[in-house]
Amino acid sequence: MSRFSDQKSQLAGLLPSSLHKIARKLPLPRTEADVPHFDEYDGNITYRDLTERIDIPVNLSTPDQMQSDEYREKGLYLARQDRWDELSELIMTHDHARDSTRSGLPIADLLAFGARSDVVRAAEHGLLYGRPARGADFFSGIEALEMVLMDDPRNYGLALIVAHMHIDIGWAWRGAKANDAVQDVNRDAFEAHFDRAYDILSEFCPHELQSPALSAARCALLPGRENPAAHLVREFEALIDLDPFNPRHMRSLGNYLLPRWYGNHQALDLEARRTAARTYDIWGAGAYTWVWFDALLVDPNGFDTLEMDYFMDGIRDILKRSEDQHVVNLIAAHLYQSWQIARERYHANGVRPDLPPALRRGFEELVYNHLREVHPLIWGHAEIGFENTARVISTERLAEKGRETALTAVAMPFLATLQQGQTVSFGPDGISESNS
């Protein structure tokens, strides 16, 4: 019997048989009406006619975006060349060094994402259209990556690629619907892929290997566990302890503690305070802000529980530690969206009257003292929630919406000046006003 046949036989024992059965039950092709679309922005246009007098650099290709693309392409290229040893070594090296982009995207994750992207895209195509892409086999790519891991089962760089492949495909089957709206075949596929990912990752200890990537992958498995809430805080504490300088882990913790997932606003606030206390020497009050950061835009009910002064202290501490324009745009877009939400949410009932003025002051202070260029994609993502994963939104369209929102927002603090016909110019050394 050939080596390939031996591996295929071993794979049959590794992969749940349900995966093979499910792969033969692809849904019927979707109609265009079934695919969600990004609604046109219909925001406040009071200042739109004045934005032509706002002279601020608009950066469509930020260093963070270029770096992210570079490492995704690197992972894809090495995978296509079957240079798995080189790829896995790169993943583990960057993981141990805690290397990340300016936005906090771990480089190890970007490499692993690129490496599995061909297989995941093929699976997603099959699920979206009810059939594989031309010349593609729905299951062959999964088996091919499994065989790569089988050749070197103690290589955790390869294990990360294969485990995340199963997690991605599991989510593609399940979608973002409420649990009771998921069809049985989709739920079975989700659980089978997550079970396989769990089996792969259970062979490695993140603490022993000092691997944030392994710890983050364990957190990504939580939706597939029987009682996620029982493991949530412990898993994220371990991840944040391994990589406390990366705020993305704190942002993910806050999102998972929302009522729509595995927590409530009181538990979220408690963990934000505990995380801030544990990381005070690194972030000051910043961790309180990071844990609440994404959660507030996803679920504005969180504003009822948020301690506004603590949140704003956290923003100031974050900005003391980073003047990078990516971080500045991230916070500016968040404050602006939060301000608009608070104005609408609390205007009529008079509850939390402290929120809108505090958010406005924070936003205007940031624009005056820190913002020097606009990153449109960040502002576009802020409008729909930073962690929104709707793949039907084109990057170009999202960036254009973000640009419009950003220029409108930046014009607000300078309304009187702009109405007088002056131009407001942003430069590296500050802001200047001049007659047009």
- Contact call for residues 305 and 265 (beta carbons, < 8 A): yes
Tokens of 34: 């079934």
* Alpha carbon of residue 257 to chain centroid: 15
pLDDT for 133 beyond 90: no
354 part of a folded domain: no
Task: In whole angstroms, give the CA distance from residue 301 to residue 227.
Answer: 25
First to last CA, the chain: 81
**What is the Cα Rg of the chain in Å?**
23
Q: Is residue 392 pLDDT above 80, yes or no?
A: no
Let me know if residue 68 belongs to a domain.
yes
pLDDT (tens digit, 9 = 90+) per residue, 139-180? 888 999 999 999 999 999 999 999 999 999 999 998 766 566
Distance separating alpha carbons of residues 399 and 379, to the nearest angstrom: 8
Return mean pLDDT, the chain.
Answer: 87
Domain extent at residue 77: 1-35+64-226
Tokens of 9: 């036989």
* Cβ–Cβ under 8 Å, residues 23 and 138: yes
Q: Is residue 77 part of a domain?
A: yes
Between 127-136, 368-377, 385-394, the lowest mean confidence (pLDDT) is in 385-394
- 4 located within any domain: yes
For residue 367, what are its two tokens? 């624009």
pTM: 0.87
131 in any annotated domain: yes
10 Ramachandran zone, left/alpha/beta (phi>0; psi -120 to 50): alpha
Q: Report yes or no on 282 lying in a domain.
A: no
Is there a contact between 58 and 403 (Cβ–Cβ < 8 Å)?
A: yes
**What percentage of the chain reaches a pLDDT higher than 90?**
68
Rounded Cα distance, 237 and 399, in Å: 34
Would the pLDDT of 364 be above 90?
Answer: yes
CA quadruple 427, 428, 431, 435: dihedral sign: negative
Count up the domains in the chain and report the number.
Answer: 1
Q: What is the pLDDT of residues 323-336, one digit of tens each?
A: 899 999 999 999 99
The answer to whether position 95 is within a domain reads yes
CB atoms < 10 A from the CB of 407, how many? Answer: 20
> Per the domain annotation, does 217 fall within a domain?
yes
pLDDT of residue 310: 98
